[in-house]
């Protein structure tokens, strides 16, 4: 079967660690891990099932004009890519204590952009078990993907990722 791609950024932080955890839960031999800094539209074209891993580092950090991180460079690729026929899932790193009003916002902005470009989103997660005030990542009462908080709830990560991957693979 065609491999699932995990496009993630940045490197060497929580997103990277969770990307590897998601890959191991799916099966490392069934997944290509792709760091977005080295990726282009032609890499997205190769896959039907795509998982994105993103963190929120300021409510609009990677959208800012002079910002220079992985997502600020890759986001324009996403907003101009035709996702028609692509099956997409997202996990988002955030901090529900310090940034309670912007919890995993970037996951929401990314998801909206993908839907606008014709992609179908999978892996919505119930808000039950999460504490936060507001989030751009809520759609129809659910998170559009999987929120992970490695700063204040790392002990829940393994269980959250396992449950998410198991349910995602049934529909993906």
Contacts (CB under 6 A) with ligand FMN, residues 28-87: 55-59
Q: Which stretch binds ligand FMN (CB under 6 A): 28-36, 73-81, 88-96, 118-126?
A: 88-96
Question: Positive or negative CA dihedral for 119, 122, 127, 131?
Answer: negative
Contact status: 91 vs ligand FMN (CB under 6 A) = no
Closest by Cα among 42, 32, 35, 44 to 3: 32
Give the helix ranges, DSSP H, for 36-156.
Answer: 41-45, 70-79, 105-116
Judged by beta carbon, residue 86 or residue 108, the one nearer ligand FMN is: 108
Binding flags for ligand FMN, 104-133, as an x/- string (CB under 6 A): xx----------------------------
Residue 151, interface with ligand FMN (CB under 6 A)?
A: yes
Candidate list 3, 13, 43, 127; residue touching ligand FMN; CB under 6 A: 13
Query: Contact 57/92 with Cβ under 8 angstroms?
Result: no
Q: Does 103 bind ligand FMN (CB under 6 A)?
A: yes
Burial, 84: exposed, middle or buried (Cβ in 10 Å; 0-12, 13-18, 19+)? exposed
Residues contacting ligand FMN: total by CB under 6 A:
19
Token pair for residue 91? 């996990």
Q: Any contact of residue 157 with ligand FMN (CB under 6 A)?
A: no
Two tokens, residue 144: 């559009």
Site residues for ligand FMN per CB under 6 A: 10, 13-15, 55-59, 93-95, 99, 102-105, 150-151
């Amino acid at each position: 079967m065609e491999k699932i791609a995990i496009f993630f950024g940045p490197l060497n932080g929580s997103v990277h660690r969770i990307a590897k955890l998601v890959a191991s839960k799916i099966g490392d031999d069934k997944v290509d891990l792709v760091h977005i800094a080295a990726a282009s539209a032609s890499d997205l074209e190769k896959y039907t099932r795509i998982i994105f891993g993103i963190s929120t580092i300021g409510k609009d950090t990677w959208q800012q004009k002079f910002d220079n991180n992985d997502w600020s460079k890759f986001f324009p690729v996403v907003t101009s890519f035709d996702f028609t026929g692509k099956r997409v899932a997202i996990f988002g790193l955030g901090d529900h204590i310090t940034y309670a009003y912007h919890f995993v916002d970037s996951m929401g902005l990314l998801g909206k952009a993908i839907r606008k470009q014709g992609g179908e989103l999978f892996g919505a997660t119930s808000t039950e078990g999460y504490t936060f005030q507001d989030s751009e990542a809520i759609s129809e009462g659910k998170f559009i993907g999987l929120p992970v908080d490695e700063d204040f709830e790392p002990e829940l990560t393994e269980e959250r990722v396992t449950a998410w991957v198991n349910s995602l693979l049934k529909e993906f």
